[in-house]
Homo-oligomer: A and B are copies of this chain.
Amino acid sequence: MNMATDRVTGCLVTIGDELLLGDIANGNSRHIAMELRSRGFLLSRMVTVGDQEDAIVEVLLDCLQRGRFLIVTGGLGPTEDDRTPGAVSKALDRPLLPNEEYMEWLRQRLKAAGRPWSDAVGKMAYLPENAAKIGVGMAGFSLVHQGIPCYFLPGVPKEMRWLMAHVVLPDLEERFPRRLRYVKEFLRIQGLYESEISRRLEGFDPSRLEVEMGYLPQWPEVWLTLLAAGVSAEAAMEKIAEAERALRPRFDRHHISGRSDDPIEAVIGRDLLARGFKLAVAESCTGGLIARRITAVAGASDYFDRGCVVYSNAAKMQLLKVPPSLLEEHGAVSEPVAAAMAEGMRAQCDVDVALAVTGIAGPTGGSPEKPVGTVFIACSDRQATRVEKHRFRGDRGDIQEHSAHAALVLLWKTMNP
Contact = CB atoms under 8 A, between A and B. Distances in A.
A388 interface: no
Given A33-B21, A37-B22, A306-B312, A195 B115 contact: yes
A310 B306 CA distance: 5
Q: Which of A22, A25, A79, A216 has its CB near the most chain B CB atoms (within 10 A)?
A: A22
B186 A23 contact: yes
Interface string A324-366: 0000000000000000000000001100000000000011110
B30 A29 contact: no
B305 A314 contact: yes
Interface in A287-307: 287-292, 294-296, 298-301, 304-307
Interface residues of A, number: 101
B24 A26 contact: no
A400 interface: yes
B305 A306 contact: no
B292 A287 contact: yes
Interface in A116-145: 116, 118, 120-121
A225 interface: yes
Contacts of A44: 20, 49-50, 55
Interface string A239-250: 000000000000
Interface stretch (A97-105, A379-387, A390-398, A405-413): A390-398
A235 interface: no
Majority secondary structure of chain A interface residues (helix, strand, loop or mixed): mixed
B195 A23 contact: no
B37 A30 contact: no
Interface in A197-234: 198-199, 214-219, 225, 227
A47 B310 CA distance: 47
Interface in A152-206: 156, 158, 182, 184, 186, 193-196, 198-199
Given A121-B195, A400-B296, A305 B301 contact: no
A286 B301 CA distance: 12
A108 interface: no
A288 B389 CA distance: 24
A370 interface: no
Contacts of A291: 287-288, 291-292, 309
Contacts of A199: 115-116, 118, 120
A81 interface: yes
Given A18-B214, A300-B311, 4 more contacts: A283-B288, A287-B296, A306-B310, A308-B309
24 contacts: A18-B225, A19-B46, A21-B37, A21-B182, A22-B31, A22-B32, A24-B218, A25-B27, A29-B48, A44-B49, A45-B59, A47-B47, A81-B214, A110-B195, A116-B199, A118-B199, A287-B296, A292-B292, A295-B311, A298-B362, A298-B363, A307-B307, A307-B308, A308-B319
